[in-house]
Chain A
Amino acid sequence: MKILVTAKRVVDPDSKIQIADTQTSIELDDVDFRVNYFCENAIEAALELQDEHDAEVVVCSIGNEDAIQTIRTGLAMGGDRGILVEAEDEVLDGDLVARTLAKLYEQEKPDIFLLGKQAIDGDSNQVGQLLAEYLSLPQACFASNIDIIEDGAVARVEREVDGGIETIDVDLPCIITADLRLNEPRYASLPGIMKAKRKKIEEFELDDLELDTTLKVVTRSMELPAGRQAGVMVSDVDELVNKLKSEAKVL
């Protein structure tokens, strides 16, 4: 079995985020980066399948050359090898990412393509779905549990839907996107980090993949949410109730 899994490099949400002068991107100089949370769940799921089904796990990322480190994190967690498609964020949109990943699918022919359900920076939540469409493959998005059944022919996936769980079967090869509750991602261990140093990462330029790189979505502007107003201290419950009635008008 072969699993292709994504590892997007995103700004760590714990960093202090500032908008760049252009108003269309984030200031990247003083922020920390990490693997997208949902991708981490996808990687963990891939590694669990690696153990159970002797699968090869290929970690791929699209990003600038620093995304190599993001891939290495996946390799340090236990991935077997990596693929980087080099491209700056500015020249990408969700659709182009999906079409790029489709090219990787055609090169690698994995049995399962695992992705995070969305990236925590753009929050678009569309790449997995677009990818399934472009490849005409079945999709199981927002997975909270994955079992491979029928001798590796079918993935039984539990999906979190409003107010409950839906269980669906999809034939392999398929696209699965991971939700947070799918698993508890492991930490890259020190021996894992040492081993990852020697694992192979193949690198492509976006141009190498012969894609139409015209964007369908262009970011026009970004703005920070309004700062929170300072709170007030109340002296007793009566005053609180009063304020909730007269000022906040919620009672």
Chain B
Amino acid sequence: MSNGRIRSRYYTKEHEAFRSSLRRFVAKEITPNIPTWEEAGRFPRELYAKAANIGLLALGFPEEYGGTSVDGFYQLILTEELSRCGSGGLVAGLMSHGIGAPPIASMATAELKAEVLPRILSGQSISALAISEPGGGSDVAQLRTTAKRDGDSYVVNGEKTFITSGMRADYITTAVRTGGEGMGGVSLLLIPGDSSGLSRTELKKMGWWCSDTATLHFDDCRVPSRYLLGPENAGFMGIMQNFNNERLFIAVMAWAFAQLCFEEALTWAKDRKTFGKPLIRHQVLRHKLVDMRTALEGTRASLEDLTWRVDQGEWPVAEVCMMKNRATQCMELCAKEAVQILGGLGYMQGSISERVYRETKVLAIGGGAEEIMKELAARQLGWLT
């Protein structure tokens, strides 16, 4: 709803003004182009600058580097409204700095922040995060890409894979091993996209077509040592904190896409007639819609509650993990049932639900897979001590 009415106690008039400006932006500048961009496997690079112009990339970053510091509900609205374009690839690609740049903002030296953040937040440069490796993504502490100090630079060797914006990124926030085994030997290094010894291979995917995803190869890749984020071997905490943001972002995306599926299915169920009456008059189908709505309502309420708690300064790690699972399960349910309600049409390209259905798995796997989320939640809740 963008009629200026306030949706729940968490939102102000400014939130709603932001929502309505954003909704128009998305409806005009993004949504009509999605089919073309999905087919092309890319959205135009200029979109970063356009998005920056209306303040989308700056959200949550420090003002001195071109950011806008606002409460978490702006972030929620941003992700929700962007997702209305119906392509998760667009949201993940356009917002890849949302996972790539926070470690720069919290760990880089002032000089480095001043050098790169304004470029990223104005949409001139693209930022990506590279943690996962061909050898494994879930077990971050075992990562094998190394960075060895050599004079004024680091020499990086190894591979990262499944990296969102990996083909186009100008700054890659990369997890590397600078020390011994385990989490205590991991650092975060910002690797400029034009570094020598860096090459990229594009990956084709089940969904998220319009975002570029890559394997990055580092072959004696040289990076000036001033690009190290935080002290050497102290990167693991930064990675974990960053995951919290990412997981909340993924949860909002999942919920927003679930909503789109629901809306599409509801409209169809009212229009489409079988056996002499609209689908919604068949009890089985309207009960599916009620199940979808039930999951959506619960997910929305817990998302708002969690956003509020994070705004109060809490870092409820277990709750964030469970939130990510709840939201992606809600999306899986809604996508599955929407495709079913749409029937053959739901299997055809052109419906939102068809695309979202192909995008369910990436949200249940990326940013920490469902199983890993459960494990982390159990540990954070103190059940294993």
Task: Write the chain B residue with the least CB distance to A77.
Answer: B21
CA distance A197 to B20 in the complex (A): 16
Residues of A close to B281: CB separation below 8 A: none
Question: Is there a chain A Cβ closer than 8 Å to B59's Cβ?
Answer: yes
Question: Is there a chain B Cβ closer than 8 Å to A31's Cβ?
Answer: yes
Question: Is there a chain A Cβ closer than 8 Å to B243's Cβ?
Answer: no
The stretch of A186-194, A200-208, A216-224 in contact with B is A186-194
How near does chain B come to A108, taking the closest CB pair, in angstroms? 25
CA distance A192 to B17 in the complex (A): 10
Contact A193 B3 (CB under 8 A): no
Question: Is there a chain B Cβ closer than 8 Å to A105's Cβ?
Answer: no
* CB within 8 Å for A73 and B21 given contacts A189-B54, A190-B70: yes
CA distance A50 to B74 in the complex (A): 29
* CB within 8 Å for A34 and B68 given contacts A187-B25, A194-B14: no
Question: Is there a chain A Cβ closer than 8 Å to B384's Cβ?
Answer: no
Contact A190 B24 (CB under 8 A): no
Q: Mark A140-168, 1 if CB is under 8 A from B, else 0.
A: 00000000000000000000000000000
Residues of B close to A192: CB separation below 8 A: 55
Contact A69 B18 (CB under 8 A): no
Instruction: From the candidates B4, B14, B25, name the one contacting A193 in the complex (CB within 8 A).
Output: B14
Using a CB-CB cutoff of 8 Å, which residues 10-37 of chain A contact chain B? Answer: 12, 15, 31-34
Instruction: From the candidates A69, A194, A197, name the one contacting B68 in the complex (CB within 8 A).
Output: A194
Residues of B close to A101: CB separation below 8 A: none
Question: Is there a chain B Cβ closer than 8 Å to A72's Cβ?
Answer: yes
Residues of A close to B17: CB separation below 8 A: 69, 72-73, 76, 188, 193, 196
How near does chain A come to B115, taking the closest CB pair, in angstroms? 22
Residues of A close to B18: CB separation below 8 A: 190, 193
Instruction: From the candidates B1, B14, B56, name the one contacting A32 in the complex (CB within 8 A).
Output: B1
Instruction: From the candidates B1, B3, B58, name the one contacting A190 in the complex (CB within 8 A).
Output: B58
Contact A190 B2 (CB under 8 A): no
Instruction: From the candidates A15, A31, A72, A190, name the one contacting B55 in the complex (CB within 8 A).
Output: A190
CA distance A191 to B69 in the complex (A): 10
Residues of A close to B21: CB separation below 8 A: 73, 76, 187-189, 193
Q: Mark A95-120, 1 if CB is under 8 A from B, else 0.
A: 00000000000000000000000000
* CB within 8 Å for A189 and B53 given contacts A72-B17, A73-B21: yes
CA distance A189 to B58 in the complex (A): 11
Residues of B close to A66: CB separation below 8 A: 4
CA distance A190 to B14 in the complex (A): 9
CA distance A248 to B7 in the complex (A): 49
Residues of A close to B4: CB separation below 8 A: 33, 66, 69
How near does chain B come to A54, taking the closest CB pair, in angstroms? 22
Residues of A close to B45: CB separation below 8 A: none
Contact A190 B54 (CB under 8 A): yes
CA distance A197 to B16 in the complex (A): 13
How near does chain A come to B336, taking the closest CB pair, in angstroms? 28
CA distance A189 to B20 in the complex (A): 11
Question: Is there a chain A Cβ closer than 8 Å to B309's Cβ?
Answer: no
* CB within 8 Å for A33 and B54 given contacts A188-B17, A191-B68: no
Residues of A close to B20: CB separation below 8 A: 32, 34, 73
Question: Is there a chain A Cβ closer than 8 Å to B277's Cβ?
Answer: no
CA distance A194 to B74 in the complex (A): 12
Question: Is there a chain A Cβ closer than 8 Å to B282's Cβ?
Answer: no
Q: Mark B42-62, 1 if CB is under 8 A from A, else 0.
A: 000000000001111011000
How near does chain A come to B374, taking the closest CB pair, in angstroms? 36
CA distance A188 to B20 in the complex (A): 9
CA distance A104 to B70 in the complex (A): 36
Residues of A close to B149: CB separation below 8 A: none
How near does chain A come to B74, taking the closest CB pair, in angstroms? 7
Residues of B close to A194: CB separation below 8 A: 14, 68, 70
How near does chain B come to A204, taking the closest CB pair, in angstroms? 21
CA distance A7 to B18 in the complex (A): 18
Q: Mark B12-36, 1 if CB is under 8 A from A, else 0.
A: 0110111011101100000000000
Residues of A close to B56: CB separation below 8 A: 190
For the complex of A and B, list the 9 residue pairs with the smallest distance between their C-beta atoms, beginning with the closest.
Answer: A190-B55, A188-B21, A32-B3, A189-B55, A189-B54, A187-B54, A69-B4, A193-B17, A187-B25
21 A-B contact pairs sorted by A residue (CB < 8 Å): A12-B3, A32-B3, A66-B4, A69-B4, A69-B17, A73-B20, A76-B21, A187-B21, A187-B22, A187-B24, A187-B25, A188-B17, A188-B54, A190-B54, A190-B55, A190-B58, A190-B59, A190-B74, A194-B14, A194-B70, A197-B14
- What is the interface of chain A, defined by CB distance below 8 A to chain B? 12, 15, 31-34, 66, 69, 72-73, 76, 187-194, 196-197
